[in-house]
Structure 1
Amino acid sequence: MKNLSVALNAVLVVAVAILYFVQFSGKGESKDVKTVAGEGAVVYINTDSLLSNYNFSRDLNEKFLKKQEDSRTDFNFKAQKLEKEAVEFQRKLQNNGFLTRQRAEEAQQKLIAKQQNLQQLDRELSAELMGEQQANSKRLFDSVTNYLKEYNASHNYSLILSTTKGGNVLLSQDGLDITKEVIDGLNARYTTEAK
């Protein structure tokens, strides 16, 4: 992991050096934004902004949160029902409400089985939600990368990086952040596909 971090830092230093050289080797020539982010340029997308402003991402997240809330509500209802049964069992046991010890043990075994079933349900719900979240992440990643292939066909960037707030890109020249343009294109495509 440490070697990967060192390698990434080395790549970033080289990339910054190249950008510095390209920017300041123009001998006083004026460069506009189109020249900076033209063919062969290295540009980036802020993934925090992309995820919060891409309608497909928001829709997937909203559906996932609803399913998570519904699952949690259903599970909590079953847990409360089991808790009431356990309290009732304890009350009955303390008041000698069972005719025989065998009946008390059978009732206890039923409660234990219900508790194990509830724990199994919790594990299954967690696994199902985790699987859905991974599937949503894959769908979102595929959607963005497929769009970027189309987008880059007309821009010919050498490299499109992703960053997050406080990530690897701390400062860049104007025109290298293509986040808004990509979000607008993704949302337009999503709106068209949803019709």
Structure 2
Amino acid sequence: TELNDFQRKYEANAFLTAERAQQEGNRLQKKQEELQNYAAKKEQELAAKQMELNGQLRDTIVAQLTIFNQTKGYQIIFSNTMGDNILLSNPAYDITAEFLEVLNKNYSSSK
């Protein structure tokens, strides 16, 4: 609204001096920058909160799956959502440590 008012006044030569028009233009530009910074900050806060809530949701689902799986005995439970592939698995199938050994060995020998 303020920007539209400024534009209308500017086009109608309603400012007493060009300097006054420049001052008002600068004030509105600064205000626009402040609003953009505020919007960016709020977007970051929203993204962080969304990540936090998604993490809590995932933790809740995994906890409930663990309880559910006590009577079912599934070895692996897959997810059908983007990002997560496996929600729950038997730790016996975790090859991370073994694979890291291979990676580290190959990295050492490539130097």
TM-score (norm 2): 0.65
What per-residue deviation string (whole Å, max 9, x for no partner) do you get for residues 156-195 of structure 1? 221112225xxx9xxxxxxxxxxxxxxxxxxxxxxxxxxx
Q: Match of 1:160?
A: 77
Code of the residue aligned with 2:53 in structure 1: it is N
Task: Tell me the matched-pair count.
Answer: 82
For residues 1-195 of structure 1, the aligned pairs below 5 Å read 84-163=1-80
Instruction: Name which structure has the greater RCO, CA cutoff 8 Å, separation 6+.
Output: 1
Long gaps (5+) in structure 1: 1-83, 169-195
TM-score (norm 1): 0.39
Report the secondary structure of 1:154's partner residue. helix
Cα distance in 2 between the residues matched to 1:103 and 1:162: 62
Long gaps (5+) in structure 2: 86-111
Identity fraction in percent: 34
Cα distance in 2 between the residues matched to 1:123 and 1:89: 25
What per-residue deviation string (whole Å, max 9, x for no partner) do you get for residues 119-156 of structure 1? 11221221122112111110110001011112222222
